[in-house]
Amino acid sequence: MSEKFAWVLTEGMAGMVTQAVGLAEAVGLPFIQKTVAVQPPWRWLPPRFWPPGVLGTARGDDTLAAPWPDLVISCGRKSIGPAREIRRRSGGRTFIVHVQDPHLPSRAFDAVVVASHDRYAGANVIETKGALHRVTPERLRAAAEEYASALAELPRPLTTVLVGGPNRVYQLTPQVMADFATRLAAFARDNGGTLLVTPSRRTGAENEAVLRETLRESRAIVWDGSGDNPYFGYLAHADQIVATCDSVSMVSEACATGKPIYVYDLPGGSEKFRRFHSLLQNEGITRPFTGVVSEWSYPYFDETAEVGAEIRRRLERRS
């Protein structure tokens, strides 16, 4: 398969890129990331209404043009039309895999990768517990080595805190953040050690200010957004992890460490999120964040690697 190559098509949002690139890395083919741009009227219409012949474009200097890749991994609604058109123009040679629920029948693709909480069925569907991601044992080992000296003298246990932000279904207001940060401060005071905190882009400046002020007297390091993101380093060195519940991707990445994971519940939610969190709790992977420390373990699983291997097998069968 060394002569084959792949394209990753997304709309450019970080969550989509992480999942699609993570799968491409797991498949193991050389790949190029392309951010798709779709012109009106197609950008306003669901992909099922696109006629044959509409390809779209790639942003910047990149192009969507032959030679066509052997594999396209798409993620995001606007990437569906280009992926299907590439397969058509390649004479069916390009194998297309869509990540996340495409809101189209699965037969529109060669494979669809979805989380079980989406309840999406089809003969060519590959189901996962959570989201695909880029957290691998190799990446964690490299990050552990990179951050070893910086974190070596910190009092343990090290509690890595992954902070998300408001979205369509969850609320994270300054008041909610104050409650969360107060609970973190009490957790650190009662259990010792150090908090390693990584806010996300969705956290927001006001929420981040509340977080910093509330943890000011605690033994905590809150990443300020400058320099390289210590995310992988914090995951690698964590003795335990606390994550807000608003991101399937963030919690899924935490699961790849095999460390105990506490999930802090935010106001709001949806049936899909509730199914996701219930699955992980029922399988003994995560527990609610109550401020009480407990130790547990769960069988290590690497769904991204497993899905990548399955896509490789399907490509080889087609060859």
Q: How far apart are CA 59 and CA 63, in angstroms?
A: 8
Q: Is residue 198 part of a domain?
A: yes
- pLDDT the model gives residue 112: 98
Q: Is residue 242 part of a domain?
A: yes
**Three-state secondary structure string covering 65-89:** CCCCCCEEEEECHHHHHHHHHHHHH
- pLDDT the model gives residue 48: 83
- C-alpha 283: how far from its chain's center? 20
Q: Is residue 157 part of a domain?
A: yes
Q: Are residues 169 and 275 in the same domain?
A: yes
- Of 222, 217, 254, the residue nearest 238 (C-alpha): 254
What CATH number has the domain bearing residue 39?
3.40.50
Q: Are residues 213 and 190 in the same domain?
A: yes
Q: Are residues 75 and 186 in the same domain?
A: no
Cis peptide before 41 (omega within 30 of 0): yes
Tally of domains within the chain: 2
Q: How far apart are CA 296 and CA 284, in angstroms?
A: 8
- pTM higher than 0.85 for the full model? yes
Q: Are residues 37 and 111 in the same domain?
A: yes
Domain hosting residue 147, numbered range:
137-288
With beta carbons less than 8 A apart as the criterion, state whether 218 and 189 touch.
yes
With beta carbons less than 8 A apart as the criterion, state whether 247 and 259 touch.
no
- Sequential pLDDT tens for the chain (319 residues): 458 999 999 999 988 999 999 999 999 999 999 999 888 888 888 888 888 888 887 877 678 999 999 999 999 999 999 999 999 999 999 999 999 999 999 999 999 999 999 999 999 999 999 999 999 999 999 999 999 999 999 999 999 999 999 999 999 999 999 999 999 999 999 999 999 999 999 999 999 999 999 999 999 999 999 999 999 999 999 999 999 999 999 999 999 999 999 999 999 999 999 999 999 999 999 999 998 888 899 988 899 999 999 999 999 998 7
Q: Are residues 160 and 185 in the same domain?
A: yes
Q: Are residues 141 and 280 in the same domain?
A: yes
Q: Is residue 175 part of a domain?
A: yes
Q: Is residue 17 part of a domain?
A: yes
Q: Are residues 85 and 192 in the same domain?
A: no
Q: Is residue 202 part of a domain?
A: yes
* Residue with the two structure tokens 């964040």: 289
- pLDDT the model gives residue 1: 44
Give the relative orientation of helices 271-282 and 248-255 as an angle to the nearest 10 degrees: 10
What CATH number has the domain bearing residue 280?
3.40.50.2000
Q: Is residue 27 part of a domain?
A: yes
Q: Are residues 127 and 152 in the same domain?
A: no
Q: Are residues 284 and 143 in the same domain?
A: yes
- b/e sequence 284-312, b meaning 16+ C-beta within 10 Å: ebbeebeeebeeeeeeebbbbbebbebbb
Q: How far apart are CA 46 and CA 52, in angstroms?
A: 14
Q: Are residues 124 and 201 in the same domain?
A: no
Q: Are residues 269 and 143 in the same domain?
A: yes
- pLDDT the model gives residue 39: 84
Q: Is residue 294 part of a domain?
A: no
Q: Are residues 147 and 119 in the same domain?
A: no
